[in-house]
Structure 1
Amino acid sequence: MTKITVKPDCGNAPKKELLKQLNIAFAKANSDFLTDIVSDDIEWDIMGDQKISGKEQFIRKLEALKSEKVSELILDRILTHGKEGAANGIIKMQNGQEYAFSDFYEFTGAKGAKVRSITSYIVRI
């Protein structure tokens, strides 16, 4: 079971909640939720690793990540403004490795939109 730690906030920002749920879904390998929340033309740039274009490649990457089990997700900050958002924190893996991450998101629109792009910075700590 994955332990989830999220710093409390005002709870009055729908996009912050969306990004919180998105990060939890990544940690728990919930590919159904993630597939529903991204646009068909999703772009995911994992800096220094690879760039993923389109929902089909996104789904393949999610399937590949399922073998890497997360033991804990610590979400430090979630920020949103208009069509953009960001989240950072620490991911602890079951194999003992730990990573600091910072993700930047662009939505398809300012209200109730899907995620159109993700830029991920991941550093082993």
Structure 2
Amino acid sequence: MHITVPKDCDNAPKRRLIRDFNLAYAHADLEKLLPYFHQDIYWEMVGDQKIIGKDAVIAFLGTVSFNKADSIEIETIISHGKFASAMGKISYGTNTIAFNDTYEFTSAGSGILKKIYSFAIPL
């Protein structure tokens, strides 16, 4: 897999966490993703669907074509307090998707995701 990520993530714990979360997603590694989700996670794929609860997220990831990506490019990761955002592109074969995800953690010091809003545009 080809991976491109911002080089300065190691100086900010939340940015590093979001980088690692996105890399686990790109690798289709459900075991690495699970610890990030709060039991009552709310994940909205804007314009598509809303998933509520960790069990529902696990079921969703089990039913979609949750495959290992061929490449991921994370262009920007921003974090402040209990919020973070990541923007980039992920490719599966000839399909590339531009994404922008906004994350809310349970608190500023937490690594547990409470809400995710995902915007995805096929290119």
Distance 1:69 1:113 in 2: 24
Matches within 5 A, 1:1-125: 2-9=1-8, 11-94=10-93, 96-125=94-123
Q: Show structure 1 runs of 5+ residues with no match.
A: none
Question: How far 1:60 moved relative to its partner?
Answer: 1.0
Q: Show structure 2 runs of 5+ residues with no match.
A: none
Q: CA RMSD in A?
A: 1.3
Question: How far 1:91 moved relative to its partner?
Answer: 0.6
* 1:19/1:87 contact within 8 Å kept: yes
* TM-score, normalised by the number of residues in structure 1: 0.92
* 1:29/1:66 contact within 8 Å kept: no
Q: Between Structure 1 and Structure 2, how many residues are aligned?
A: 123
- Moved runs in structure 1, 4+ residues, more than 4 A? none
Identity %: 37
* TM-score, normalised by the number of residues in structure 2: 0.94
Instruction: Give per-residue Cα distances to partners, 1:58-95, cap 9 Å, x unaligned.
Output: 0012222454441000000000000100000001112x
